[in-house]
Amino acid sequence: MIVQEETVAQDGNLTVNRDQTRNIGSNRVTKIEKDDVLNMGNNHQINLHTGTIVNVGNDEVV
């Protein structure tokens, strides 16, 4: 699918274009900053800063 590039979020020097968005669970991510933790619903989190631990719920660590 071809997605038209369109700026949907801008913060300082960070610009996230529509073709760079990611759909995680039921949440569309349009803004990613250094120390952000993305909420994927049901306490599922990805730490983008360290990138070392991904909590996928039910005490499973990937």
- The percent helix, strand, coil of the chain (3-state, each to 5) is 5, 40, 55
Classify 18 as helix, strand or coil: helix
Tell me: the pLDDT tens digits for 7-60?
A: 555 556 655 555 555 555 555 555 655 555 555 555 555 555 555 555 555 554
Which pLDDT score, from 0 to 100, does residue 5 have?
54
Tokens of 39: 């909420």
Which pLDDT score, from 0 to 100, does residue 24 have?
52
**CA 44/CA 3 separation, integer angstroms:** 27
Classify 13 as helix, strand or coil: coil
